[in-house]
A = this chain, B = another copy of it.
């Protein structure tokens, strides 16, 4: 028994049921009475949306992420917690690791705590196979699920995404426009965000009538040394590389170390672009050109969207925020 059953039986939208539950005045007396009658008929006890009725809420949001010691995720957790607190909400943090069973267990635990909503942080929280995310869709029948830079379709699932496609498209296109021809794309993940980035790289090649060469798209671990080793291997195999575009600053640092140790000038002989504009970008020498993926804006939007859901408004299921290229010393574009 949940808000969807009430919505269906009453023939009104979920947002309308939510408005009734929140005492929002933008509902006609007639509709309100119908919804309340259906609720009584079905024996529905309002749970998560019940703030307006003063029932049953802990004002607590579950935050889930794979690994809060990852620089990007640590920042995202920080901004999310902060923004929730400014709205007088507490957060319970669960770091699940990458194992699906642990993710499921943590979600059940949060549901058992009767949190008001769950915020899942990071593209990699979702599994690559759609059916492996069925437990999330099932949970979304009970409470709003908010994804920070992840994408999953579902009626009560709301995503705030960085426009990773145009970010990678933009930097790749700039490099090609400046005369670069052998652009290595180094990435770590096939998540939704990972796929969008790769599509951006491919679209920029295609837009500039450049051939797609599979060996110019290389996956590696999110690790400075693994990135460096990967490029070193390609270079020793004789591959021409005049640019390295990456999906994370750590990979760009690896590329920079490769260049320095092989006496290749940066940016003259090889341009290097990071991603996420983390502290690694300014730690590197020369400092990395990188992509500001607006993690704070993503988190603030996620929390504000959630507050609007609680207040009974219709909100878009997907919000896209543009990234910025931060130009530094590893490119000359």
Residues of A at the B interface (CB closer than 8 Å) are: 60, 63, 67-69, 71, 74-75, 77-79, 81-82, 85, 90-95, 109, 113, 224-225, 250, 253, 256-257, 260, 279-280, 282-285
Contact = CB atoms under 8 A, between A and B. Distances in A.
Please state the number of chain copies in the assembly. 2
A82 to B, nearest CB: 6
A81 B95 contact: yes
Nearest to A105: B85
Contacts of A257: 285
Q: Which of A78, A82, A94 has the most CB of B within 10 A?
A: A78
A92 B95 contact: no
Given A68-B81, A81-B95, A256-B285, 5 more contacts: A67-B78, A71-B74, A82-B95, A90-B113, A91-B92
A247 to B, nearest CB: 17
Contacts of A283: 224, 250, 253, 280, 283-284
Describe A's contact surface by its main secondary structure. Answer: helix
Contacts of A253: 283
A78 B71 contact: no
Contacts of A256: 285
Contacts of A282: 224-225
Contacts of A77: 68, 93
B71 A279 contact: yes
Nearest to A97: B82
Contacts of A113: 90
Contacts of A91: 92-93
A122 to B, nearest CB: 14
Q: Which of A60, A256, A257 has the most CB of B within 10 A?
A: A257
Contact of A109 (B90, B109, B285): B90
